[in-house]
Chain A
Amino acid sequence: MTNTTALKAARAPTEIYNNVPDPFCGMLSDDLVVERQGGSLKVVKNGSAIARAGFERKLPKANPAIRGKPVALSQAIAEAARMIGDATLPLFGGLATDVEGMRAVLALADRSGGIVDHALSEALYRNLKVMQITGWTTSTLTETRNRADLIIIAGSDIAKFNPRFFERIAIPPDSMFGVTAKKRTIIFIGKGLDRALGKDSRAGEVITLACKPEDAGKVVGTLRARLRGFRIVSRKIAGVPLADIDALAERCKAAKYGVVAWAPPSLDYPHAEFAIDQFAGLVNDLNKTTRFAGLSLGGGEGSVTASAVCAWQSGYPLRVSYASGAPDYDPYRYAIARMLADGEGDVLLWLASISPGLAPPKTKIPAIVLGTPGLKLAQTPAVFIPVGTPGVDHAGRMLRVDNVVSLPLKDLGRSSLPSAADILAAIEAEI
Chain B
Amino acid sequence: MLIKLTGGRIYDPANNVSGAVRDIYVENGKIVGPKPDARPDQTYDVSGRVVMAGAIDPHTHIGGGKMTIARTLLPEDHRGDPVTRTKLTRAGSGRSVPSTLVTGYRYAEMGYTACFEPAMLAANARQAHMEMGDTPMVDKGAFVMLGSDDYFLRQLAAKADFKAIKDYVAWTMHAAQAIAVKVVNPGGISAFKFNQRKLDLDEEHIYYHVTPRQIILTLARALEELGVVHPLHIHGCNLGIPGNIESTLATIRAAEGLRIHMTHTQFLSYGTEGDKKFSSGAARLCELAAKHPNVSIDVGQVLFGQTCTASGDSMRQYAISRSAHPKKPVIMDIECDAGCGVVPIRYRDKSFVNAMQWVIGLETFLMFDDPWRIFLTTDHPNGAPFFFYPHLIRLLMDKSFRDDALQKINPDAQVQAEVLKSLTREYTFDEIAILTRAGPARSLGLQDRGHLGVGAAGDITVYEDKADREAMFATPEYVFKGGELVVKNGKIVKVVQGATHVMRPDYDKSIEKPLNDYFDRFHTMRMENFKLSDDEIIRGDNGAIIVQPVGARAT
Contacts and interface: CB of A to CB of B under 8 A. Distances in A.
Interface in A383-431: 397, 399, 403-408
Given A30-B526, A142-B523, A145-B522, A404 B332 contact: yes
A202 interface: no
A138 B101 contact: no
Nearest to B324: A135
Interface stretch (B9-17, B50-58, B127-135, B358-366): B127-135
Contact of A315 (B78, B194, B539): B78
Nearest to B101: A313
Interface string B513-535: 00000000111111011000100
A140 B75 contact: no
Interface stretch (B85-93, B420-428, B436-444, B464-472): B85-93
B65 A397 contact: no
B335 A140 contact: yes
B83 interface: yes
A287 interface: yes
A343 to B, nearest CB: 26
Given A133-B328, A145-B522, A397 B69 contact: no
Most buried by B among A168, A290, A311: A311
Interface stretch (B118-126, B278-286, B479-487, B543-551): B118-126
Contacts of B34: none
Nearest to B338: A404
A327 B91 contact: yes
A110 B93 CA distance: 13
A134 B329 CA distance: 7
A321 B430 CA distance: 46
Interface residues of A, number: 67
Nearest to B75: A329
A147 interface: yes
Contacts of B123: 140, 142, 404-405
B506 interface: no
Given A145-B522, A316-B93, A407 B85 contact: no
B335 A405 contact: yes
B98 A315 contact: yes
Interface residues of B, number: 68
A291 B194 CA distance: 7
Contacts of B98: 315
A329 B79 contact: yes
B91 A177 contact: no
Contacts of B207: 177
A110 B84 CA distance: 10
B246 interface: no
B402 interface: no
A97 interface: no
B345 to A, nearest CB: 12
Nearest to A19: B526
A142 B79 contact: no
B288 interface: no
Contacts of B65: 403-404
A308 interface: yes
A272 to B, nearest CB: 19
Interface in B191-213: 192-195, 207
16 contacts: A29-B524, A30-B525, A100-B540, A107-B90, A146-B336, A257-B195, A291-B192, A291-B195, A291-B333, A308-B68, A311-B72, A312-B63, A315-B77, A315-B102, A327-B92, A405-B524
Interface of A: 2, 18-19, 21, 27, 29-31, 99-100, 103, 107, 110-111, 128, 131-143, 145-147, 168-169, 174-177, 256-257, 287, 290-291, 293, 307-308, 311-317, 322, 324-329, 397, 399, 403-408
**What 9 A-B pairs are tightest by C-beta distance, nearest first?**
A315-B93, A135-B328, A326-B82, A315-B78, A325-B84, A19-B526, A141-B524, A137-B331, A315-B99
Given A140-B335, A142-B525, A408-B536, 11 more contacts: A132-B73, A137-B318, A140-B333, A143-B336, A313-B99, A313-B100, A313-B134, A397-B126, A399-B127, A405-B126, A406-B126
